[in-house]
Amino acid sequence: MFLSKKILKSTLKLNNFQRNMSLIKNKAYINGKWTSALNNETFNVLNPVDKSIIGSVPDMNCDDVNLAINSATEAFKTFSKTTAKERSDLLRSWYNLMVKNSEELANILTQENGKSLAESRAEIKYGNSFVEWFSEETRRINGEILQEPMRNRKLMILKQPIGPVALITPWNFPHAMITRKVGAAIAAGCTCVIKPSEDTPLTALALAKLAEDAGFPPGVMNFITTNLNNSPQIGKLLCEDKNIRAISFTGSTAVGKILYQQSASTMKRLSLELGGNAPFIVFESANIDLAVGGAMQCKFRNTGQTCVSANRFFVHNSRFDEFLQKFVDKISQDIKMGDGKKNNITHGPLIKQSQIDMIDHLVIDAINKGAKLHCGGKKLSDLGPLFYAPTVLTEVNRDMEIYHREIFGPVAVIHKFNDENDVLNEANSVNVGLAGYFYSEDLSQIFRVANKMEVGMIGANEGLISCAEAAFGGVKESGIGREGSKHGVDDFLDIKYLCIGNIKY
């Protein structure tokens, strides 16, 4: 049999890639075993730099997922009885292995997500920190002893793991979004079924391999892989299965709403980290160099494909020209797009065709309706099929689609404002509220604005606010619950009230 030139090229790439990567797996992980789909179907994982094939993984359907649910349910019977110290030790071993294998994890991440190696290394460090954090937090999940209203009673609040849980994670942070959820679930004593995005399953399976090496018992972490076609049925199954007691999902608000509805039949606990539309306000007193630095981090992290990315810039009239000029200059100085595994590259491509088509459409629509383009505004096809130039637009108005959308790409839209109340009204006028940013040197204004901004997270004079210590999550349609911080375990715990009566003193 003859292989076409294209397939032969991909196969060679796959071999070169895999030769250097001991953590690359081509099977899912259920009940402590590396597993193919029951029907043996697979799908390819592509490198967004050139759409070449870098691996293939099982294309699982509901039959496979039922096995994973059974495995997590069975494992919960014993894992829920482990001590916090035992869970802490397991998480610590997993963390140590992640640290040891950071470079390989970063390489896998860059290959399947496209972000630059520098960004992947930062994500691995960030993702690892959640496992370290929850290895510590697990030992502080304490109940309470209450003041009893009657002398012969003792009242207590116990905290118990909620049960087996399903964790559904996105492609934009394939490592950190898993560790932020799994770390908390394991700390609470839950077992998990983990479904990574179809675009980035290899990072997830590398984490499964390290969990196996760390000594997690079979069934405690089950990783299922599936292509987009099967995802809706699998999501529904996870929501409607009575053994799965909680769903934690990071992704779009549209999908979050579907999962919310589907979970009603089983009254499942939901933790939803959904879309944002972050305002980034530069007030009159702002330090403009600081604001430009923050804008660069905040807007272009992961080539703009971040749910806490600045989506709407508002700059005070008196500082507008200065900010715009410095921002555009900084973009041309600091951003070097290309294949993320090359050393000098800062930013990679977008993840897939639908993403770049959407960005291109939004920019063309805005320009056709009168927006002013200051840089970018085009695909960079000579770099690869999914590269889009960092773009700055002004004079954007409500008639343009981009005004109303979470952009999720390297496009900054900058508006002018004059009045604090007006800009806050505008910032709060959307139905989501994940993150918000502002720059001001006026202390009263900092407290006033932070108080009034309708978001779950605020960066005041700071453009990059994520860390394991932070309570990550949004208000309004940006979701429910908090991840990271001491609150991250709450969604995986049941509170049980215990009243011991008739005590004879």
Q: Measure the N-to-C terminal CA separation of the chain; round to a whole number of Å.
A: 86
Which is nearest to 50 in space by CA: 260, 346, 341? Answer: 341
Q: Which one, 72 or 106, has the nearer CB to ligand SIN? A: 106
Coil/strand/helix, residue 246? strand
**Minimum distance of ligand SIN from residue 459's CB (angstroms):** 11
Nearer to ligand SIN, 438 or 472 (CB): 472
331 is a site residue for ligand SIN (CB under 6 A): no
Rule CB under 6 A: say whether 306 interacts with ligand SIN. yes
Report which secondary-structure segment, H or E, holds 432. Answer: strand 432-433
Segment contacting ligand SIN by CB under 6 A, of 94-102, 172-180, 195-203, 397-405: 172-180
Measured from the CB atom, the residue of 109 and 308 that comes closer to ligand SIN is: 308
200 scored as a contact of ligand SIN (CB under 6 A): no
- Pick one of 133, 173, 283, 417: the residue that binds ligand SIN (CB under 6 A): 173
Q: Residue 457: which H helix or E strand, with range?
A: strand 457-460
Which of 120, 191, 466, 485 is close enough to bind ligand SIN by CB under 6 A? 466
Among 307, 393, 432, 480, binds ligand SIN (CB under 6 A): 307
Q: Which is nearer to ligand SIN, 307 or 413 (CB)?
A: 307
Q: What is the C-alpha to C-alpha distance for residues 294 and 286, in angstroms, rounded to an integer?
A: 12
Residue 453 to residue 448: CA distance in whole angstroms: 9
CA-based nearest residue to 138, from 198, 210, 89, 74? 89
Output 26 or 116, the one with its CB closest to ligand SIN: 116
Tell me the window of 302-310, 322-330, 381-389, 390-398 that interacts with ligand SIN (CB under 6 A).
Answer: 302-310
User: Rounded distance, CA 322 to CA 330, Å?
Assistant: 12
* Number of shown-chain residues binding ligand SIN (CB under 6 A): 9
273 is catalytic: yes
Q: Is 212 helix (H, G, I), strand (E, B) or coil?
A: helix
Cβ 256 to ligand SIN shortest distance, Å: 12
Q: How far is the CB of 176 from ligand SIN (least distance, A)?
A: 6
Q: Would you mind telling me the total number of residues written for the chain in this entry?
A: 505
Tell me the DSSP string of 311-347. Answer: EEEEEEGGGHHHHHHHHHHHHHHH--BS-TTSTT--B
250 contacts ligand SIN (rule: CB under 6 A): yes
Among 165, 224, 238, 308, binds ligand SIN (CB under 6 A): 308
Q: Is position 437 an interface residue for ligand SIN (rule: CB under 6 A)?
A: no
Maximal C-alpha separation, the chain: 87
From 286-294, 304-312, 344-352, 451-459, span contacting ligand SIN (CB under 6 A): 304-312
**What is the C-alpha to C-alpha distance for residues 404 and 489, in angstroms, rounded to an integer?**
34
Distance of CA 220 to the CA centre of its chain: 22
- Which region, judged by CB under 6 A, interacts with ligand SIN, from 34-42, 171-179, 380-388, 402-410? 171-179
Would you count residue 300 as binding ligand SIN (CB under 6 A)?
A: no
Q: Which residue is nearest to ligand SIN (CB)?
A: 466
For 248, the 3-state DSSP assignment is: strand
Residues 393, 372 contacting (CB under 8 angstroms): yes
Query: Quick one: tokens of 19?
Result: 């030769």
Left, alpha or beta for 365 (phi > 0: left; psi -120 to 50: alpha)? alpha
Q: Is 375 helix (H, G, I), strand (E, B) or coil?
A: strand
172: contact with ligand SIN by CB under 6 A: yes
Q: Which stretch binds ligand SIN (CB under 6 A): 2-10, 301-309, 323-331, 345-353?
A: 301-309
Which of these is catalytic: 137, 273, 454, 477?
A: 273
Beta strands 391-394 and 278-282, pairing class: unpaired
Q: In whole angstroms, how close is the CB of 473 to ligand SIN at the nearest point?
A: 10
Binding interface with ligand SIN (CB under 6 A): 172-173, 176, 250, 306-308, 466, 472
Q: Give the active site residues.
A: 273
